[in-house]
Amino acid sequence: MLTAQFNYLEGKSLAILNKEGKVIDEHLVPEIKDDELINMYKTMLLTRIADTKAMQYQRQGRMLTYAPNKGQEAAQIGSAAAIEERDWLVPAFREMGAWLYKGVPLNQVYLYWYGNEMGSKFPENIKMLPVSVPIASQLNHAAGIAMASNIKGEDEVTLAYVGDGGTSQGEFHEAINLAAVFNAPLVVVIQNNQYAISVPRAEQTKTKTLAEKAHGYGIPGIQVDGNDILAVYAATKEAVKRARSGQGPTLIEAVTYRLGPHTTSDDPTIYRDDKEVEDWTQKDPLIRFKKYLIDRNLWSEDEDAKQIEEYESFANKTFKEVENSKEVPLEDIFKYHYEKMPQNLMEQYEEYKEYLAKGGK
């Protein structure tokens, strides 16, 4: 078992590919079909391109605030690839790769960040919750879904995400404790991207790792190289198997790095060195996985160049469609929390209409 072999208390962390894309230990390589490996890589590439484009659209004044994913593609896609269609995915807000792997069309990703409620209304067959902006609140929803699966006798698993900062929220504790006590089929992936806005990981908690927090809940935990898609996949696959066979939750810490700003409203040069960003750029998860696939003759630089071109025009076309979609009705901002808009919300709606009528933006 990987959780036993890579014991966080002994300072061990699971890595399968080194930063040159070479396999560290053949025994650890998970069984993944060739077409799935390619699908994983292509989704990483689409995520990188769609993400880069989104930053540009925002800078051009064509999109609202945006939270970029650059550098975290392996943590997102390695985990999402380890669940089945019947399983639930519960994101925080920085999981574009997981959304795409789960089958959410890119236009919905863009609609969400464009401020259109329809971006959160996924096709019926996609078992995924929408973005959760209140940090860690999604974990209680995830624990609830997992507990419901047990009660209903269904063998589906819930995969939920949280950031390093999210582990300091009360809901992190509440959700994992509850899921552990009730043996709920929950897998929590912490995307430890080293920062919660400007707060560095070292100021987030006194524990050496985030994985070791599992100990306090009596559940297995593991730290993995979050920029190594094979390591993330292997650890998640094992955790999913454990959850599905009635052995309860697992906590996975994926050590990664946010190469971009927290959001388009943030300036990371104020709180971190260029040198640090440069060091992590060397550990880019995409380059590493591409090298691995090329070594295995599953991919080539030519195919890569063609795919990049195709995805760039796909992202541009998709975003133009989003821009040309119908104007977002004003009441959308107010109407989805309750079946019927309560009085206080009606008042705010009226006030907002007046504000706009007077030229407010």
Known catalytic residues are: 258, 262, 271
* 66 is an interface residue for ligand TPP by CB under 6 A: no
CB of 12 to ligand TPP, least distance (A): 23
Contacted by 346, from ligand TPP, Mg ion, none: CB < 5 to 8 Å by type: none
Neighbours of 31 (CB within 10 A): 7
Contact 94, 309 (CB under 8 A): no
* 196 is an interface residue for ligand TPP by CB under 6 A: yes
Nearest Cα to Cα of residue 158 among 134, 175, 170: 175
Angle at 227 between CA 304 and CA 240, to 5 degrees: 105
Backbone torsions φ then ψ of 251, nearest 5 degrees: -110, 125
DSSP 323-337: HHSPPPPTTHHHHSS
Distance CA 189, CA 223 (A): 10
Distance CA 104, CA 197 (A): 27
CB of 226 to ligand TPP, least distance (A): 12
| Closer residue to ligand TPP (CB): 71 or 119 | 71
Contacting residues toward Mg ion, per CB under 5 A:
163-165, 193, 196
CB of 163 to ligand TPP, least distance (A): 2
- Scan for tokens 């550990």, then name that residue: 283
Which residues are registered as beta bridge partners of 90? 160
Neighbours of 168 (CB within 10 A): 16
Applying CB under 6 A, the span of 131-139, 150-158, 275-283, 295-303 interacting with ligand TPP comes to 131-139
Return the residue of 20, 64, 121, 197 that touches ligand TPP, per CB under 6 A: 197
Applying CB under 6 A, the span of 105-113, 195-203, 215-223, 229-237 interacting with ligand TPP comes to 195-203
CB of 266 to ligand TPP, least distance (A): 9
Return the residue of 64, 133, 330, 346 that touches ligand TPP, per CB under 6 A: 133
Contact 41, 49 (CB under 8 A): no
Return the residue of 87, 164, 225, 284 that touches ligand TPP, per CB under 6 A: 164
Return the residue of 193, 209, 250, 318 that touches ligand TPP, per CB under 6 A: 193
Return the residue of 262, 283, 288, 290 that touches ligand TPP, per CB under 6 A: 262
Distance CA 151, CA 184 (A): 9
Per-residue exposure over 89-109, b if at least 16 CB sit within 10 Å of its own CB, e if not: bbbbbbbbbbbbbbebebbbb
Applying CB under 6 A, the span of 57-65, 109-117, 191-199, 231-239 interacting with ligand TPP comes to 191-199
CB of 32 to Mg ion, least distance (A): 27
Contacted by 135, from ligand TPP, Mg ion, none: CB < 5 to 8 Å by type: ligand TPP
Q: Which residues bind ligand TPP (CB under 6 A)?
A: 94, 133-135, 163-166, 193, 195-197, 258, 262
